[in-house]
Amino acid sequence: MFNELGLSPKVVSAVEAAGYTKPTPIQAAAIPHALEKKDVLGLAQTGTGKTASFVLPMLSLLEKGRARARMPRTLILEPTRELAAQVEESFEKYGVNHKLTVALLIGGVSFEEQNRKIDRGADVVIATPGRLLDHLERGKLLLQQVEIFVVDEADRMLDMGFIPDIERICKILPAKRQTLFFSATMPKEIVSLVDRFLKDPVRVEVSPPSSAAETVTQRFVRSGSTPKEKRDTLRRLIRGEKELSNGIIFCNRKRDIGTLFRSLERHGFSVGALHGDMDQRTRMMTLDSFKQDKITLLVASDVAARGLDIPKVSHVFNYDVPHNAEDYVHRIGRTGRAGRSGAAFTISTPEDKKLVAAIEAMLKREVQWLDDDAPPAAQKSAARSGGEDRSRPPRGRNRGDRRGPAEAETVAAQAPAPSQPQQAPAPAPARSKSDEAPRSDRGSRRRDRREPDEPRVAFRDTPYVPAFLLRPLSPRKPATTTTTRKSTTEPVG
């Protein structure tokens, strides 16, 4: 029980109010040590309750003392803006009984609000490295009063090249501090960081990273190489999955995301798009819609591969085989969370042979191909439709059978528009330049469009799309040709 971990009554009551009774293994293991002000090295992935394992003890410890202007008492580093925002939400949820100032310092949004919070005296600063350093360089933020320093998703920070930034930040922080350090894996660069910046850490390990995959049914799916063939394969897979409640579709390239997003939208799917070149507000809105089940599918880059805490993803579709075998594990780790079963499909073209081999090498076993084994629903439908799905009824009509019984009541409870209960609207498509369809695809788009009777219009005017989302963000720019903004410092050769 949470009240046995040594957390303060305020924290315990907030946790209970949030509906939690039993700590997860990482929480049970890490919280008592964190409360004793020990350094903690936590080996765990998201979905294990990792965030609460540092947020709850931090709230307890912060009850003593007060923040001074520009001198935060705690600092949390996150690799992506979404993760940082998620941690802020966690402080809001568990900190309802506290009067704490929490500042979220991430890029892509204005400095004003951030500066105000810092000046007021932030108890908690949650930041991505770039924006944090920006504040530091402007002299707006002083770190000498930091009592607790949290590094989350350290291995991902490594992948993203943030290690030098973390080292810089560590050197500014007071030596007398508590460090809570989380990483799903321990490559040697991370071990070195831990050795240098943690003091006698208590090592808390929940589950080896590979075990995340065990509740997930993984299938590889052969497909032709052209985008059209891949999109056909994907639609067939999605339509064949009767138990699909929601799913993430991963693309390797940002520029493919917009194309695929629009294609799915045209085919009547409830879909959103998420990648790092989209403006921050749209990113947040889209993620929110997905979490709240307002959209069923999310076409995303690897920005969504790790860490995002979306508790209920039933399916992962890899539209592309990921470049790194490790990314594969992270992507499929978005489903099958918290003991739930999940399904992951990876669309693979003949050109992807080497990447598949790399994944097999890492998994230490062969992957299973959809057409080689006992048929999940998708295979049957693939066989039936002979690779073309034109004859199928338009989606959005056959709703009743799409979800398993477990989800049925949730759906009913939140269905706002009787005519289209599950077909919630997609948020406004991202308007960033990378979302423009490549010219080569324009032709095939037109052909896709030929599907005769799509229900799209029906959910265009459903009531719960905030009106501002449908307005353009800024005056229309002339057709973007981005090749002109090349830097003058480009080296020769």
Shortest distance in whole angstroms from residue 337 CB to DNA = 21
Shortest distance in whole angstroms from residue 354 CB to DNA = 5
Name 270's Cβ contacts closer than 8 Å, sequence gap at least 6: 294, 295, 296, 297, 422, 423, 424, 425, 426, 459
CB nearer DNA, residue 61 or residue 355: 355
Q: According to CB under 7 A, which residues from 231 to 260 bind DNA? A: 252-255
Shortest distance in whole angstroms from residue 493 CB to DNA = 16
- Spatial strand order of the sheet with 148-151 comes to 102-105, 124-127, 74-77, 148-151, 178-183, 40-43, 202-205
Question: How far apart, in whole angstroms, are the C-alpha atoms of residue 245 and residue 138?
Answer: 46
227 in contact with DNA (CB under 7 A) = no
132 in contact with DNA (CB under 7 A) = yes
Question: How far apart, in whole angstroms, are the C-alpha atoms of residue 113 and residue 119?
Answer: 10
Binding DNA by CB under 7 A: which of 112, 200, 351, 490? 351
303 in contact with DNA (CB under 7 A) = yes
CB nearer DNA, residue 80 or residue 179: 80
130 in contact with DNA (CB under 7 A) = yes
Considering only CA atoms, which of 389, 92, 421, 98 is closest in space to residue 238? 389
148-151 vs 178-183, strand pairing mode:
parallel
- 125-152 burial, b for 16+ CB within 10 Å, e for fewer? bbbbbebbbbbbeeeebbbebbbbbbbb
CB nearer DNA, residue 130 or residue 421: 130
Binding DNA by CB under 7 A: which of 98, 131, 262, 291? 131
152 in contact with DNA (CB under 7 A) = no
CB nearer DNA, residue 74 or residue 434: 434
Question: How far apart, in whole angstroms, are the C-alpha atoms of residue 194 and residue 188?
Answer: 10
Shortest distance in whole angstroms from residue 471 CB to DNA = 23
Read out DSSP for 265-314?
HHTT--EEEE-TTS-HHHHHHHHHHHHTTS-SEEEE-GGGTSS---TT--
CB nearer DNA, residue 115 or residue 252: 252
Token reading at 186: 């321990």
Considering only CA atoms, which of 266, 263, 232, 246 is closest in space to residue 378? 232
Stretch that binds DNA, among 51-59, 131-139, 202-210, 340-348 (CB under 7 A): 131-139
107 in contact with DNA (CB under 7 A) = yes
From residue 165, how far is each of 67, 140, 157, 176, 324 by CA, in Å?
Answer: 24, 18, 9, 20, 24
117 in contact with DNA (CB under 7 A) = no
Stretch that binds DNA, among 96-104, 156-164, 259-267, 405-413 (CB under 7 A): 156-164
DSSP alpha helix (H) spans, 95-187:
111-120, 129-137, 154-159, 163-172
Shortest distance in whole angstroms from residue 102 CB to DNA = 17
Binding DNA by CB under 7 A: which of 179, 263, 270, 301? 301
Q: How far apart are the first and last CA of the chain?
A: 64
Name 158's Cβ contacts closer than 8 Å, sequence gap at least 6: 187, 189, 190
CB nearer DNA, residue 89 or residue 134: 134
Shortest distance in whole angstroms from residue 52 CB to DNA = 23
Shortest distance in whole angstroms from residue 342 CB to DNA = 22
Q: According to CB under 7 A, which residues from 275 to 294 bind DNA? A: 275-277
CB nearer DNA, residue 199 or residue 253: 253
Considering only CA atoms, which of 82, 37, 75, 67 is closest in space to residue 288? 82
137 in contact with DNA (CB under 7 A) = yes
Binding DNA by CB under 7 A: which of 12, 31, 106, 378? 106
134 in contact with DNA (CB under 7 A) = yes
How many residues bind DNA (CB under 7 A)? The answer is: 37
From residue 447, how far is each of 61, 229, 284, 329, 450 by CA, in Å?
Answer: 61, 13, 32, 35, 6
DSSP 479: -
CB nearer DNA, residue 100 or residue 106: 106
324 in contact with DNA (CB under 7 A) = yes
493 in contact with DNA (CB under 7 A) = no
159 in contact with DNA (CB under 7 A) = yes
Q: Kindly list the residues in this chain that would bind DNA in the complex (CB under 7 A).
A: 79-82, 106-108, 127-134, 137, 159-162, 252-255, 275-277, 301-303, 323-324, 327, 351-352, 354-355
